[in-house]
Amino acid sequence: MSHYKPYPTYKDSEVEWIGKVPEHWDVMRLRHVAAFKNSNVDKKAYDGQEAVSLCNYTDVYYNEFITPNLPFMQATASPAEIEQFTLKKGDVIITKDSEDPSDIGIPSLVKEEVPGVVCGYHLTMIRVADFDTARLLHRILQSHPTQAHFFVEAPGITRYGLSQDAIGDLRFCLPPANERAAITDHLDRETAYIDALIAKKTKFIELLTKKRQALITHAVTKGLNPKAKMKQSGVEWIGEVPEHWNIVQSRRLFSERKERARDGDVQLTASQKYGVIPQSEFMEREGRRVMLVSKGHDILKHIEPEDFLISMRSFEGGLEECKSSGCVSSAYVPLAPIKWVWNPFFRYLFKSTGYIQALQSTSDLVRDGQALRFENFSEVPLLHVDIDEQRQIAEFLDRQLGRIDGLITKTQLSIDLLKKRRSALITAAVTGQIDLRESA
């Protein structure tokens, strides 16, 4: 942001996390600028109440602006609730509580009239006198100082929430009324440009991810020889396979490991993000604690390197490969290779779209909440491929996916940098670090 100029003179804001502000700006508390109230309108429909469209927590969390074309859910509200919480153009809504303190205070601006839409539960509705001030307040609520204030003022252990005092005590700097539109107009233009770049790069990652999955699926079900004679496998998710490949019951390749945890076993946990890793490493990477088993150690299961693991997340993203010896919760199902298994090949096969869909078809987790078991795994036939060919396919995928993953990582890094630039620009603008009066 080196091309932006500062204001001519500054003064101390007397707010530690804001610092110096332009001399002609005011430092205000939110309660002195806006009216705000928490909504008590829940998602339930009650007899005798009026039908309304409900602006929910997720509508605010995932949308920077509230507009009439959002897919609002239908609910009911009393006449008093409708009078208090019907949204108007210029209202700013923030998330009031969450299981994650970083999700609190996320703002969304009602950019245009949304007839018949009522603010829902777990949200705070903030209303100021004019639209230009509302637009600026929306950006102020996105800034680093505001987010820091809300993070500190949201106490909790498993759930965090903002009190009315914490919201009202928010301190921020406010430029004169005749300067507010220029600041927000500039931010709207610049953030729209950045958002377009982010959207383009996100689309590129989506295309790379699809290409990645297609490459895996083709390689593990069709092999590498485009001239190979093919035959019908008789299995829907596999389709045609090379003539020399066979289909076998999965229990012929893998057995369920039922050994109890050994003395000294390190507790492991499985995730789609990291695979099967020690719980201590998982907590360090995620920055949060998970429940360790301190009693009833005998309910844990031993697992060996090169085992695969079925977990609840397998319903969404396939099976995970274990890289170290240890123990896992009894909710997991360890699978030990028996024969005809080259692990890197099956690591890819178990992550292929077709296999995941086939595994999903063995159970309706949404309906009954059951976990995937060895019986589910046994219902999905697997491929019997010569070990040397399995190795060749896995090495091919290692090379090809390494290139794709490198592009994905590089593109994601550029997205992260754009998001940081966006956030830094908003913060600099609303705290007066840069002078935007002549940028309109």
Residue 399: Cβ within 10 Å count: 8
Q: 3-state class of 348 per DSSP?
A: helix
Same fold yes or no, 26-174 and 246-384: yes
Query: What's residue 290's pLDDT?
Result: 56
* Helix %, strand %, coil % of the chain (to 5): 40, 20, 40
Residues making up the chain, counted from first to last: 440
- Lowest mean pLDDT across 304-313, 379-388, 427-436: 304-313
Contact 401, 142 (CB under 8 A): no
pLDDT at 354: 94
Predicted confidence at residue 20, as pLDDT, reads 93
Report the 10 Å Cβ neighbour count for 244: 12
Distance from C-alpha of 347 to C-alpha of 354, rounded to nearest angstrom? 14
Question: Mean pLDDT across the stretch 174-192?
Answer: 96
Q: Which amino acid is at 25?
A: W
Residue 323: pLDDT band with limits 50, 70, 90: confident
Mean pLDDT of 334-342: 96
pLDDT of residue 366: 47
Q: How many Cβ atoms sit within 10 Å of the Cβ of residue 194?
A: 16
Closest to 433 (Cα-Cα) out of 20, 137, 23, 3: 20
Q: Where are the domains of the chain?
A: 26-174, 246-384
Whether 32 shows a pLDDT value over 50: the answer reads: yes
Coil vs helix vs strand at 323: coil
72 has a pLDDT exceeding 50: yes
Query: Is pLDDT of 94 > 60?
Result: yes
CB atoms within 10 A of CB 142: 21
Binned at pLDDT 50, 70 and 90, residue 167 comes out as very high
Q: Which two tokens stand for residue 17?
A: 């996390």
User: 88: which 2 tokens?
Assistant: 């108007």
Q: Is residue 162 within 8 Å of residue 105, measured between CB atoms?
A: yes
Instruction: For residues 354 and 236, give the distance between their C-alpha atoms in angstroms, rounded to a whole number.
Output: 9
For domain 246-384, the question of CATH label 3.30.1330.40 is answered with no
pLDDT band for position 289 (cuts 50, 70, 90): low
Phi, psi for 127 (deg, rounded to 5) = -130, 130
Does residue 370 surpass a pLDDT of 80? Answer: no
Q: Could you give the CA distance from residue 356 to residue 418 in angstroms, rounded to a whole number?
A: 34
**pTM score of the predicted model:** 0.83
Which tokens hold the place of 135?
């637009």
pLDDT of residue 337: 97
pLDDT higher than 70, residue 3:
yes
> Percent of the chain, pLDDT > 90?
77
Integer Cα distance of 352 and 367 in angstroms? 24
**37 vs 275 pLDDT, higher one:** 37
- Statement: 26-174 belongs to CATH 3.40.50.300: no
